[in-house]
Amino acid sequence: MANFGYQDNDPTFANIWQELKWRGLVHVSTDEAELEKLLAGAPITYYCGFDPTAPSLHLGNLVQLLVMRRLQLAGHRPLGLVGGSTGMIGDPRPNAERTLNTKDTVAEWVGSLQAQVSRFLSFEGSNAARMVNNLDWTAPLTAIDFLRVVGKHFRVGTMLRKETVASRLNSDEGISYTEFSYQILQGMDYLQLYRDFGCMLQTGGSDQWGNLTSGTDLIRKVEGKSVHALGTPLITNTDGTKFGKSEGNAVWLDSRMCSPYAFYQFWLNTADTDVVNRLKVFTFLTQAEIEDIATAVAERPFAREGQRKLAYEVTSLVHGVEATERVIAASAALFGNGDLAALDKPTLQAATAELPSATVQMNELGIVDLMVASGLADSKSAARRTVSEGGVYVNNEKVLDPEATIPEDELLHGQYILLRRGKKNLATVEVLDFVRRAD
């Protein structure tokens, strides 16, 4: 992240722990009073781990990234761990074994995730962040060393009672020894970071609580020291559905997997009942600012002020202000309130990706044929009538002649046409001949 100047914690709270609580980011923790005291004192080192089980992080990971950033803004020292070793296994899912990826794939994804995590932390100053990879300390271990040095401190009965393990044991799928051992590896990570950096806190999602406490228990047994863990709540929608997923697809932070336009639209579509909580979790707006927005949402829900502010703030955090401004411009331009020709090709493609579409040849650019091909008119006669009545726009320019043909120099990026019928009915046309010419 290039610019941290607009990020800060809310100074009206007594300490960072109180702000985390207000934002709804504390679901479970070790000794709360001790942890609050620790975070209100001298800088400590803390960490959060991210496994490369995909080429990108997603919205669930964004919660952890912003918790890390808030703690760093409070003066504490972050360690961003991307698990080159744990990523080859993956933490146990509730109902099925993970597919094991190749070592080369995991290594590639480690690099991608390290770059993503790095954008949310500052690597300058007295509390500069560090990136670490658990493959550095697990790869040299032999199986015998692992069992003797680490495995002996774990009790099978305790491991079986961990929620993720217990749910898998009761499923038809069962659980392999590979995934069963994951909690030992994560516990070993915490021990290693405690020894190397004096790490005193691990953060993660509350569904990882069993793995988080594996580390605190291991450090207590091996070093005789008390360290801490913080589990954030799983973010769900008011109706109970899992946040950030639609038909099984995660909302990714990588712009190649989820465009800034689609990302912005995701937040813009937040329900009124969820928007205030999302502002607390995913933005750096102060309590006073969010309370003002909450009033606006309650009194003027039709204005969608909360959703627009949420979409702008989070998209700016993840993709930058410039990309966010392009997205807003694209949204306006689609409905005639901006310059379509000024949109870059990726933004235009993303903005029109969900619209009805058609493909035509270069000799099929008559407006009537385009209206029918795109589905904006049921028949040529209906298309002619709509054009004659002034209800058809090509690239936001009104067309009144049913015999009109779209000239080549009016195609967006040499290959696209945006059609609009009335105020809200949109469709895109891709001209295949110009695609081939461009290639």
What is the spatial distance between Cα 409 and Cα 365, in angstroms, rounded to a whole number? Answer: 12
Distance of CA 122 to the CA centre of its chain: 19
Same domain, 73 and 198: yes
Distance spanning both ends of the chain, measured CA to CA: 34
State the pLDDT at residue 5: 52
What are the φ/ψ torsions at residue 86 (nearest 5 degrees)? -65, -25
State the pLDDT at residue 364: 77
Same domain, 326 and 425: no
Count up the domains in the chain and report the number: 3
By C-alpha distance, which of 37, 33, 34, 13 is closest to 23?
Answer: 13
Same domain, 325 and 184: no
Q: What string of pLDDT tens digits covers the 439 residues of the chain? A: 444 557 999 999 999 999 999 999 999 999 999 999 999 999 999 999 999 999 999 999 999 999 999 999 999 999 999 999 999 988 777 777 888 899 999 999 999 999 999 999 999 999 999 999 999 999 999 999 999 989 999 898 888 888 878 888 888 788 888 888 889 999 999 999 999 999 999 999 998 999 999 999 999 999 999 999 999 999 887 777 777 765 466 799 999 999 999 999 999 999 999 999 999 999 999 999 999 999 999 999 999 999 999 999 999 999 999 999 999 999 889 888 888 888 999 999 998 988 999 999 887 789 999 999 999 999 999 999 999 999 999 999 999 999 999 998 899 999 999 999 998 899 999 998 644 444 4
Asked if the structure places residue 415 within a domain, the reply is yes
What is the spatial distance between Cα 60 and Cα 103, in angstroms, rounded to a whole number? Answer: 25
Distance of CA 111 to the CA centre of its chain: 17
What is the spatial distance between Cα 197 and Cα 199, in angstroms, rounded to a whole number? Answer: 5
What is the spatial distance between Cα 339 and Cα 42, in angstroms, rounded to a whole number? Answer: 53
Asked if the structure places residue 125 within a domain, the reply is yes
Q: Work out whether the CA dihedral 127, 133, 139, 143 comes out positive or negative.
A: positive
Asked if the structure places residue 205 within a domain, the reply is yes
State the pLDDT at residue 437: 47
Q: Work out whether the CA dihedral 253, 85, 81, 36 comes out positive or negative.
A: positive
* Alpha-helical runs (H) found in 320-422: 321-334, 345-351, 367-374, 380-388
What is the spatial distance between Cα 200 and Cα 39, in angstroms, rounded to a whole number? Answer: 10
Q: How many CB atoms lie within 10 A of CB 438?
A: 9
CA atoms within 13 A on the CB side of 316: 18
Asked if the structure places residue 266 within a domain, the reply is yes
Same domain, 345 and 361: no
Same domain, 343 and 414: no
Are 87 and 52 in contact by the 8 Å Cβ rule? The answer is yes
Same domain, 140 and 193: yes
Same domain, 329 and 388: no
Are 39 and 71 in contact by the 8 Å Cβ rule? The answer is yes
Q: Which of 351, 370, 399 marks a domain boundary?
A: 351
What is the spatial distance between Cα 304 and Cα 200, in angstroms, rounded to a whole number? Answer: 42
State the pLDDT at residue 289: 97
Asked if the structure places residue 242 within a domain, the reply is no
Are 226 and 71 in contact by the 8 Å Cβ rule? The answer is no
State the pLDDT at residue 268: 95
Q: Which of 302, 333, 351 marks a domain boundary?
A: 351
According to DSSP, the residues that pair with 164 across neighbouring strands are none
Are 79 and 132 in contact by the 8 Å Cβ rule? The answer is yes
312: CATH: 1.10.240.10
What is the spatial distance between Cα 432 and Cα 364, in angstroms, rounded to a whole number? Answer: 10
What is the spatial distance between Cα 90 and Cα 350, in angstroms, rounded to a whole number? Answer: 32
Q: Which domain holds residue 66?
A: 16-234
Same domain, 346 and 383: no
- CA distances for 343 relative to 98, 112, 140, 332, angstroms: 41, 28, 51, 11
State the pLDDT at residue 66: 98
Same domain, 74 and 169: yes
Asked if the structure places residue 246 within a domain, the reply is no
Q: Which of 296, 330, 351 marks a domain boundary?
A: 351
State the pLDDT at residue 248: 60
Q: How many CB atoms lie within 10 A of CB 189?
A: 27
Same domain, 197 and 157: yes
Asked if the structure places residue 140 within a domain, the reply is yes
Same domain, 216 and 230: yes
362: CATH: 3.10.290.10
Are 342 and 329 in contact by the 8 Å Cβ rule? The answer is yes
Asked if the structure places residue 245 within a domain, the reply is no
Same domain, 345 and 418: no
